[in-house]
Amino acid sequence: MVTINEVAKAAGVSISTISRVINQSNSVSLATKNKVMEAIRELGYTPNISAKKYNKKSNKLIGVLFPDISNNVFGRILQGVNSVVTPLGYNTVICETNGELEKEIHFLDVLKNKQVEGIIMANVHIPEEHMLWIHRNNKPVIYVCQDIPDFGLKIPISSVNMDNQQAICDMVHFLYNMGHKNIAFIGGPLHDLSAGKKRYDGYMKGLRECSLNTSQDLISFQESFTIADGYAGMNQIYEKSSILPTAVLCACDNLAVGAIDFMYDNNIQVPEHISVTGVDDSILATAIRPSLTTIRHATFDTGVKAAQLLLEYFSSESFKGSSFKMPYQLLRRQSVKHL
């Protein structure tokens, strides 16, 4: 079993500093906290929770709300969250919302009744009802994979996300440099500020920067981000467009898999006849053939950052939240052909 002495040695700090970090003292700098947390994660140290039962201000619960717990993107985020909070004695209460506002508000109330100290949340969009709930209950909320709209309320809220617009713009440039001039787009609902609107905006920005023409016949918006939606979206583009595009950029891997499925059913070969790209680098991206060219965003690190922000809220009432952008990586695989 790893001891607190080993953690202190690995982090290069005193045992008392380790104790202050575990007990969320305000007297430790953020740099030192991060160094200690890294040592705790790497060594797999588990504090003696029973020794801290005297701390009645904390019940060591954190709420997690995800629209689809079967989505491995959210699974990796949860792993990142747990890598930070579990060594400190916190437990996560996980709720699945299906992206429905009524369920989100219901589970927010459930988590409040369970006296969670804070919430990490992913959802399709952030409505005003969320902001009002946070304002009324003063519970810190960290949104992941979503951008925060400006409602003008001073509430304890932050977001951790990648730059969705620029990421998709980069993918357009990649396809252009691979010789593609006729690029279609399958996206989700535009009321989803991040994966919906920002990714569409990135597509349009990329077309403009590459001096490519825009055609509504090459664009399909779907109600969600499922494989079935990708199939339907590719079917719409196939039926509307006079000629088959040389590439289709999909707003997520599920949509891309659905588009490839449609192509298979209609004897259209990928990438020989058309190239396909996605976003997320999900498990399906490497499981299908051809393997999917996609954008990997730092999902595990997103969970780590979200948990660290929540701990900052806990330890400092004056901590001001913000929007944090995480790195991403374009991964070229078999589904794109160089023309």
pLDDT at site 216: 92
Q: Are residues 303 and 273 located together in one domain of the fold?
A: no
Q: Are residues 183 and 35 located together in one domain of the fold?
A: no
Q: Omega of the bond prior to 245 within 30 degrees of 0, cis?
A: no
Residue 108 class from Cβ within 10 Å (0-12 exposed, 13-18 middle, 19+ buried)? buried
With respect to residue 172, please indicate whether it lies within any of the assigned structural domains: yes
Q: Are residues 72 and 155 located together in one domain of the fold?
A: yes
With respect to residue 333, please indicate whether it lies within any of the assigned structural domains: no
> What's the pLDDT tens digit per position in 62-116?
999 998 888 888 999 999 999 999 988 899 999 999 888 889 889 989 998 989 9
Q: Are residues 138 and 173 located together in one domain of the fold?
A: no
Calpha distance 163→133 (Å, rounded): 27
Q: Are residues 123 and 154 located together in one domain of the fold?
A: yes
Q: Are residues 169 and 157 located together in one domain of the fold?
A: no
pLDDT at site 197: 94
Q: Are residues 65 and 135 located together in one domain of the fold?
A: yes
> What's the pLDDT tens digit per position in 299-310?
899 999 999 888
With respect to residue 51, please indicate whether it lies within any of the assigned structural domains: yes
Q: Are residues 76 and 99 located together in one domain of the fold?
A: yes
Q: Are residues 15 and 109 located together in one domain of the fold?
A: yes
Q: Are residues 145 and 183 located together in one domain of the fold?
A: no
Q: Per DSSP, what are the bridge partners of residue 249?
A: 185, 277
CATH number, domain of 177, equals 3.40.50.2300
What is the domain extent for residue 139?
4-162+299-328
The 3-class secondary structure across 57-78, one letter per residue, is: CCCCEEEEEECCCCCHHHHHHH
Tokens of 189: 């609902």
- Please list the ranges in the chain whose pLDDT falls under 70: 1, 24-26, 46-58, 150-154, 317-320
With respect to residue 146, please indicate whether it lies within any of the assigned structural domains: yes
Q: Is the pTM of this model over 0.95?
A: no
Supply the angle between the helices 199-209 and 164-177 in degrees, to the nearest 10. 40
Q: Are residues 178 and 290 located together in one domain of the fold?
A: yes
pLDDT at site 55: 45
Count the domains in the chain: 2
With respect to residue 89, please indicate whether it lies within any of the assigned structural domains: yes
Q: How many residues does the chain have?
A: 339
pLDDT at site 190: 92
With respect to residue 95, please indicate whether it lies within any of the assigned structural domains: yes
pLDDT at site 293: 98
pLDDT at site 242: 85
Calpha distance 188→121 (Å, rounded): 19
Coil, strand or helix at 17: helix
With respect to residue 36, please indicate whether it lies within any of the assigned structural domains: yes
Name residues whose C-beta falls within 8 Å of residue 207's C-beta, 6 or more positions apart in sequence: 172, 183, 213, 214
With respect to residue 339, please indicate whether it lies within any of the assigned structural domains: no
pLDDT at site 80: 93
Q: Are residues 10 and 115 located together in one domain of the fold?
A: yes
Question: Given the DSSP bridges, would you call strands 141-144 and 118-121 parallel, antiparallel or unpaired?
Answer: parallel
